[in-house]
Chains A and B, each alone.
Chain A
Amino acid sequence: MTAITLANGEVRLARIALVGPPNSGKTTLFNTLTGGRQKTGNYPGVTVERKSGRLRTPVGHTVELLDLPGSYSLRARSPDEAITRDVVLGRQAREALPDAVVCVTDATNLSQHLRLLLELRQLGRPLILALNMMDIAQKRGCQISIEALSQQLGIPVVSTVAMHKNGVQDLLGQIDTLLSQIPAASRAAVIDAWVEPSPEAIRAYHREVERLLREAVIQEGTPERLTRRLDQILLHPVVGPLILLGLLFLMFQAVFNWAAAPMDWIDGGMASLQQWLSAHMTESLLKSLVIDGLIAGVGGVVIFLPQILILFLFILLLEDFGYMARAAFLMDRLMSAVGLNGRAFIPLLSSFACAIPGIMAARTIAHPLDRLTTILIAPLMTCSARLPVYVLLISAFIPNTTVWGGIGLQGLVMFGLYATGIVGALVVAGVLRLTLLRGNRQPLLMELPSYKWPNPANVLLGLLERARIFMRRIGTIILSVMVVLWFLASFPSAPQGATEPAIYYSFAGMIGHGLQPLLAPIGFNWQIAIALVPGLAAREVAVAALGTVYALSGDEGAVSDALATTLAHDWTLATALALLAWYVFAPQCLATLAAARRETNSWRWPTFMFVYLMILAYLAAFITYRLALALGGG
């Protein structure tokens, strides 16, 4: 038997929600319980991630397990926490009230974590308390009587060690016991009786937690020392910021150096595929589409997967290690100077990988104005999709020499581009908070979790998810844009006796020529103009588009030539620098605009975002081009 039968005769899978404060090890527990059988989606209307998975209990029930966003209290302070509250109360659209809730708590921090459990118990629904990280608690000499706690609370209590598969057996057993009782109990569709706890109610919960712990804790553990010692270095007023800066620099150097080898493999693979196909396919339109459109275009984007994965590897490791909150702590004062919250640091850092997860991560910021400002400046953080453009232009125009003892000039220019984006973002945020988004400064109240070794399985699952999202974009948006672009670049074909390359006469050529007068003041030629149009759909497509444009417009040799070499011949340094400056601010991809629309629930802010970025990009490119010309870069 896999499903449960309800009292009204309905047969379906049991639904259990996993609830817990941040840093309770909830996600690790979820991963251990469900393994690879996970699904991620979104809740309708908001971009809060909906993570669910399936697990099989010892008796044989199949259970749908829902991983709800971490929350300190049912009094939700952010859109993320609101989802947790609404699901638990059965108020979330298209999400039935869970049959039972498993409340995950950190056994080493029960005095803070049990309060959420008490709030949940108040709802009177089937509930299990999981004391997670029991192994760590025991190592510190802490002894908790599970029986006493269970008796006092009147609900099942189990200890779990989320890192280990056999650390969850008790929990699975309790889920079975609970499921056998559910059919009678599970009727309510919505819980109406809930009200936000008042300050007095929270104080009462605190008192109750203290009483419970007096009953159940046999031996208090010794406080953790390692985190304190590490923090003395990592949060040191002088050393701390230097370490943060060093980490960021290391991250960007790694993105370039470590990714080089796998990128060469992908490049080589794509080239041999292209050769094999051109040898084995007969001359036709299809051959042109496959080789010049699909492989040249998509291949030019797939190549950046290693860099994106390395960037996310850093972010996931630092997050799992517990460093991200420290980075936010160190950055708070600096960011509050432009009206932002230290918490905005994490979404903004994620935006270096991609603005979309960054914009989504902004939902952990409770205050609407803080959140909106963070969303609006997120695209100024140089996302990995801009890397292709930077890498291409830097390798074509910046000599690969070292300056100042071992630091590569190319890496330094890259660092400068990132820095320009960051400074630009801070200025824009400051201006926004003084004009359109004026309002009170919001409090920062943020837990600095204990350091722990990153869990390899968590990091791996996170990386796979990123790779999947990237490849899906390649398979959908980018692929279709490449086909459209190939069509635009191939039709109509050149007239008899044409003197210019074929693309000159195509639709793409016409659009490029149409835009050129507008872009001439900033030094862009018609090839760039053509590439910028699909670049709006997804930034990295611009490189692929340039590849297509030059592959189709050059002679046979140009196809096999590296695009960088072609560009180095065709463009002036001033044009290349102007394009780099353009891309620091360039209007984001359509997917980012769509994410901003979902998060802000209107087209107003994405439109504003598009316009202000376009203006900034044009100005930056104009200034750079004129300056470079004046300095002899023409």
Chain B
Amino acid sequence: MNTYGERNPQAFASGQAVGSCFTQPLGQMRRGSVGRILAVSGGASDRDVERGLLEMGFVEGARVEVLHHGFLGQDPLAVRINQTMTIALRRCEANAVLVGPLHESAMDAKPELTLEYASS
């Protein structure tokens, strides 16, 4: 059901959304948007950030939802993981997490149908 492992390492290295317009770093996600983690990487030099993120539940395949932004500079972010745990992190670290659409099959579908916005 869930996919683990780095699906798209190149996307990471370049820091760009690759393949489709709705693949983006967690730090760029709008408040209220939902997605599924495609890859977690602090870069080759900083595996501690990667480990820290993994230990707090940011793992490939997990569902993430951006709940809140800080009041200054929209930093830090409060992110709900798998609907069970909310983690606060700064935009800078959040950018080490690459997020894709929530539904696997939606990868090839129309982007506007795949990004689920929590309206409440």
Q: Tell me the complex Cα distance, A338–B56, Å.
A: 26
Out of B49, B55, B86, B92, which one reaches A227, CB within 8 Å? Answer: B86
A167: Cβ under 8 A from any B Cβ = no
**Knowing A203-B54, A444-B76, A444-B90 touch, does A108 contact B59 (C-beta < 8 A)?**
no
Contact B59 A342 (CB under 8 A): no
Out of B4, B49, B68, B72, which one reaches A334, CB within 8 Å? Answer: B72
Residue of B nearest to A210 (CB): B2
Contact B71 A330 (CB under 8 A): yes
Contact B51 A446 (CB under 8 A): no
Tell me the B56-73 residues at the A interface (CB within 8 Å): 56-57, 59-60, 67-73
B9: Cβ under 8 A from any A Cβ = no
B78: Cβ under 8 A from any A Cβ = yes
Collect the chain A residues with CB atoms within 8 Å of residue B72's CB: 333-334
Encode A317-353 as 1/0 by CB contact (under 8 A) with B: 0000000010011101110100000100000000000
Collect the chain A residues with CB atoms within 8 Å of residue B53's CB: 445
**Knowing A330-B71, A332-B90 touch, does A202 contact B55 (C-beta < 8 A)?**
yes
Contact B76 A329 (CB under 8 A): yes
Residue of B nearest to A332 (CB): B76
Tell me the A444-495 residues at the B interface (CB within 8 Å): 444-448
Out of B4, B70, B86, B93, which one reaches A237, CB within 8 Å? Answer: B70
B88: Cβ under 8 A from any A Cβ = yes
Contact B93 A444 (CB under 8 A): yes
Contact B82 A444 (CB under 8 A): no
Tell me the A284-334 residues at the B interface (CB within 8 Å): 325, 328-330, 332-334
**Knowing A199-B51, A223-B84 touch, does A447 contact B56 (C-beta < 8 A)?**
yes
Collect the chain A residues with CB atoms within 8 Å of residue B47's CB: 198-199
Out of B4, B5, B70, B82, which one reaches A332, CB within 8 Å? Answer: B70
With an 8 Å Cβ cutoff, the count of chain A residues facing the other chain is 42
Contact B90 A446 (CB under 8 A): no
Centre residue among B50, B60, B80, B88 by max chain A CB count within 10 A: B88
Collect the chain B residues with CB atoms within 8 Å of residue A333's CB: 70-73, 75-76
Contact A444 B70 (CB under 8 A): no
Q: Tell me the complex Cα distance, A317–B59, Å.
A: 33
Q: Tell me the complex Cα distance, A398–B4, Å.
A: 66
Place the interface of chain B in its size category. Answer: 35 or more
**Knowing A223-B83, A342-B76 touch, does A203 contact B4 (C-beta < 8 A)?**
yes
A51: Cβ under 8 A from any B Cβ = no
Collect the chain A residues with CB atoms within 8 Å of residue B56's CB: 72, 112, 445, 447
Collect the chain B residues with CB atoms within 8 Å of residue A199's CB: 47, 50-51, 54
Contact A73 B55 (CB under 8 A): yes
Q: Tell me the complex Cα distance, A240–B76, Å.
A: 14
Encode B86-110 as 1/0 by CB contact (under 8 A) with A: 1111101100000000000000000
Collect the chain A residues with CB atoms within 8 Å of residue B84's CB: 108-109, 111-112, 223
Q: Tell me the complex Cα distance, A333–B86, Å.
A: 18
Q: How far is the CB of A69 from chain B (nearest CB, A)?
A: 16
Q: How far is the CB of B76 from chain A (nearest CB, A)?
A: 5
Contact B55 A207 (CB under 8 A): no
Q: Tell me the complex Cα distance, A235–B77, Å.
A: 10
Q: Tell me the complex Cα distance, A210–B60, Å.
A: 12
Collect the chain A residues with CB atoms within 8 Å of residue B50's CB: 199
B81: Cβ under 8 A from any A Cβ = yes
A45: Cβ under 8 A from any B Cβ = no
Encode B31-64 as 1/0 by CB contact (under 8 A) with A: 0000000000000000101111111110110000
Contact B54 A202 (CB under 8 A): yes
Q: Tell me the complex Cα distance, A237–B57, Å.
A: 25
A557: Cβ under 8 A from any B Cβ = no
Q: How far is the CB of B83 from chain A (nearest CB, A)?
A: 4
B21: Cβ under 8 A from any A Cβ = no
A438: Cβ under 8 A from any B Cβ = no
Out of B52, B67, B71, which one reaches A445, CB within 8 Å? Answer: B52
Centre residue among B47, B56, B70 by max chain A CB count within 10 A: B70
Collect the chain B residues with CB atoms within 8 Å of residue A112's CB: 56-57, 81-82, 84-85
Collect the chain B residues with CB atoms within 8 Å of residue A61's CB: none
Q: Lowest 6 A-B CB distances belong to which pairs?
A: A237-B71, A333-B72, A223-B83, A448-B86, A202-B54, A235-B68
Apart from A109-B85, A198-B51, A203-B4, list 8 A-B contacts with CB within 8 A: A112-B82, A199-B47, A206-B59, A237-B70, A241-B71, A329-B78, A444-B76, A448-B87
* Residues of chain A at the chain B interface (Cβ within 8 Å): 72-73, 75, 77, 108-109, 111-112, 115, 197-199, 202-203, 206-207, 210, 223, 227-228, 231, 235, 237-238, 240-241, 325, 328-330, 332-334, 336, 342, 441, 443-448
Pick 10 A–B contacts, CB within 8 A, sort by A. Answer: A197-B51, A199-B51, A203-B5, A203-B60, A223-B83, A231-B67, A329-B70, A332-B70, A342-B88, A443-B49
